[in-house]
Amino acid sequence: MALDEKDDISQTTSATSDTHRLDELDNLEVLPQILQEGILFAGAGSALLLQAAMPGIKHRNSDSQNGNSSSNSNLATELGDALQAHLSYIACLVFGTRAEKKTLLDLLSRGQPPLAASENYAAHPPTQLWVAATLYATATDFYQRVYGRVNYRTAEKAYAEFATLMLCVGMAPGTWPASRQAFWTYWDDQIEKLTVTAEAHRFATDLMARDDFPRWVMLSKPFLRVLTIEMLPLRIREAYGLKSTVGTRGLYRTAMGFSVAVYPALPKSKRSYPLTYYLGELRKRLDVV
């Protein structure tokens, strides 16, 4: 077979694969209903602290940048930016136009992520998996705290659709656990391995002090702090020196009571604002007409 014929076959196969993946994204059923609530962001504080406690995450990220530790001096900035990149990609792949989805997929497949913060973690699959796992687990947790437990079929469908998103953002096939049961087994094993180091402690302090988040995030900080404390596993919460007190539990119950009673009745534009915001920020980078 001539070389140009092989190239033609390769390009045709790639185009077919891209079309199939876009069709899968266009046919998502459950995730759009969940993520339109902006629910993925509510557990962000808990997700970030769980990420920072992953053994060796600082060292691994330094390795991915060829040992340039000076660019890794602020783990709070790195993980915060990576979280926002993941939220932006997920927002685009679920709610973007087909042209936007295609542009993002093309950039990611070429190793040219529009938000460079995500590139460091893609270079180390175990770290990339843990970052994504914390987003899935905390979003699943908080969604059910507000809307109640979802049925088995819905949970299975949501998991399968999230797995599709992970492939789209560049996670290597076979990395994401094949089933929900496998995921929670992986999750429990990882939780047991987490270690809150001095670096993780500094991360928690830096995260709370960081003042360059969007204005709506800054306004939500007291609420997010209480959620973070009450959502973290007990061992991890205590290791960070975060205390569940009468005050935090009272604020948590008040916040959750409001969320359960009032949040679902808010206009969709208000409930979906977090991911709408991140999609808007990514659109500036994609520049799709």
Model pLDDT for residues 151-161, shown as the tens digit of each residue: 999 999 999 99
- What is the pLDDT confidence band of residue 67, given thresholds at 50, 70 and 90? very low
Cβ contact 44:220 at 8 Å: no
pLDDT in tens, 124-149: 788 889 999 999 999 888 888 888 88
Q: Is residue 26 predicted with pLDDT exceeding 50?
A: yes
The model carries a pTM of: 0.84
Token readout for 53 is 């406690």
- What is the pLDDT confidence band of residue 266, given thresholds at 50, 70 and 90? confident
What angle do helix axes 215-231 and 246-261 make, rounded to 10 degrees? 120
Ordered alpha helix ranges (H), the chain = 3-26, 31-35, 39-42, 44-52, 57-64, 75-95, 98-109, 119-122, 125-147, 152-168, 180-193, 198-209, 215-231, 234-239, 246-261, 268-271, 273-286
Q: Is residue 4 predicted with pLDDT exceeding 50?
A: yes
Q: Is residue 87 predicted with pLDDT exceeding 80?
A: yes
Cβ contact 227:42 at 8 Å: yes
Average pLDDT over residues 193-198: 93
Give which of 241, 249, 230, 238 is closest to 46, Cα–Cα: 230
Q: Is residue 178 predicted with pLDDT exceeding 80?
A: yes
End-to-end CA, the chain:
39
Sign for the pseudo-dihedral over CA of 56, 61, 64, 65: negative
What local confidence, expressed as pLDDT, does residue 59 receive?
54
Give which of 101, 118, 96, 99 is closest to 170, Cα–Cα: 118
Of residues 42 and 25, which shows the higher confidence score?
Answer: 25
Rounded Cα–Cα distance for residues 273 and 265 (Å): 14
